[in-house]
Structure 1
Amino acid sequence: MTETAERVPVACPSCSPDVETVHEVLTMGGGKATVRCTECSHVHKVTPETDEEVERDVVVSQDGESFSATVDAPPKETVAVGEEFILETEEAIMVVRITDLQLSEEKRTDEAKVEDVETFWTRAVDNVRVNVTINPDDGSHDDSTSVKIDVPGDYEFEVGESEEFANEEFKVKSIAIRDDAEGYHFNPLSEEGDTAIAKDVKRVYGDDETSSAWSAW
């Protein structure tokens, strides 16, 4: 049983000098590859393109603090605010979402090629801290309390559903969505059954259910 030959798209000097066609790689050596055109069977040598990457600075925001790191990426790749990528640091491997792209000291943009980017501004999204405002069960807003809860980035909140974290129990009333989140048609979400995952959430608003919770005593 033979292995399937590796195939690469390159121009063929015999039948297609201007347009790339599929070629089978026959041998590799000396920085060159011997290939055979699958259209006309012409055999010739090519110099494979190298996967060049450039190093760029990354600033990561996590739980109200920030730290710096670096990432290697193809210079011609287009990146945009809202996209996520895996960042490896000496301390941990995490998923981060791009919140801003800095091209120079005074210029920022929502989309650019990696080669034009000076710094990726990001926030960690695999584990996140969500702000929650809880209103008293009597409907007033004067005595509202604010808490922060730590959950996985893909944890789902649903309007109308009850949540319980430590000593807090509340019913989700509405959900404010972050500016860098995509796929939501309304902001805030307030219809019963509306859902959002934690990494997309700016703040959850809920009605207190702690005092009305059933107790056996």
Structure 2
Amino acid sequence: MFITANCPECNDETEHEVLADSRDMLVRCTTCGHHRRLPKEKEPQALMIKAIVSREGASKVCGIELAEEDECFVDDHLVAECGDDAFGVEVTSIECGDKRVTRAKAPDITTLWTRTIENVVVKVSIHDGRKTIPVYMECDGEQPFVVNEMYVASGKRFRISHLKLRDGPLMRKEGWKTVAHRIKRIYGVRL
């Protein structure tokens, strides 16, 4: 095995051959042949953080692996491990002890509150002139939806009039688009 390290004899960054790898590494400079011991770099420890994964009304306790030096933010996209299954999730809240914060270092995190973003159920309200029909559409979390384009849900054709996002704003302008996991509700007009 070879590593790049600073050689005191060459006074430069050179390639070194690792001769022994125990508590310290015994290395030899491939340029000048100088032997010396180098302390091993501490490998970051992986932490399994408790994660509550929500998927359309149902929640389960899973785990998310983070390195000890990692910092986590609300809205980060991570992978949660639930037994043999793994889900793409978005962090919605971070719990540190009895406080909720928007960011934290991995060792300080007690629980990550998340929701799945791989396959999501999008709520659609289709207005037909007299009444509004509620429809649920299961789709990939990265599927794009565009204002004023035509879609089909539960056999009903509709054109999107506006999109309500999870983080607040309404998207009304023709051509504006977003992905399914960011949508709180789609409003459409039946065709």
> TM-score, normalised to structure 2's length?
0.85
Instruction: Give 1:37 deviation, angstroms.
Output: 6.9
Are positions 1:32 and 2:28 aligned together? no
Aligned to 2:63: 70
* Change in CA separation of 1:116 and 1:23 when aligned onto 2, cut-off 3 Å: farther
Residue from 142, 159, 163 that aligns with 1:154? 142
Deviations 1:102-152 (A, max 9, x none): 0012x101111011110010001000011111112x3x6xx2122211001
More strand by share: 2
Instruction: Give 1:40 deviation, angstroms.
Output: 8.8
Aligned to 1:199: 181
Aligned to 1:177: 165
* Change in CA separation of 1:36 and 1:178 when aligned onto 2, cut-off 3 Å: farther
* Change in CA separation of 1:85 and 1:42 when aligned onto 2, cut-off 3 Å: farther
Aligned to 1:129: 121
Task: Report SS of the residue matched to 1:115.
Answer: helix
Amino acid at match of 1:156: P
1:100–1:122 Cα contact (<8 Å) kept: yes
* Change in CA separation of 1:154 and 1:26 when aligned onto 2, cut-off 3 Å: same
Task: Report SS of the residue matched to 1:93.
Answer: strand
Aligned to 1:213: none
**Alignment gaps of 5+ in structure 1:** 16-20, 180-185, 210-217
**1: distance between equivalents of 2:145 and 2:138?**
13
> TM-score, normalised to structure 1's length?
0.76
1:58–1:121 Cα contact (<8 Å) kept: yes
Amino acid at match of 2:3: R
Instruction: Give 1:44 deviation, angstroms.
Output: 2.7
Deviations 1:143-166 (A, max 9, x none): 212221100111110101000022
* Change in CA separation of 1:87 and 1:28 when aligned onto 2, cut-off 3 Å: farther
Q: How many residue pairs align between the two structures?
A: 187
**Alignment gaps of 5+ in structure 2:** none
**2: distance between equivalents of 1:43 and 1:7?**
14
1:31–1:48 Cα contact (<8 Å) kept: no
**1: distance between equivalents of 2:114 and 2:14?**
39
Instruction: Give 1:174 deviation, angstroms.
Output: 0.7
Residue from 81, 88, 92 that aligns with 1:99? 92
Instruction: Give 1:169 deviation, angstroms.
Output: 1.4
Are positions 1:48 and 2:41 aligned together? yes
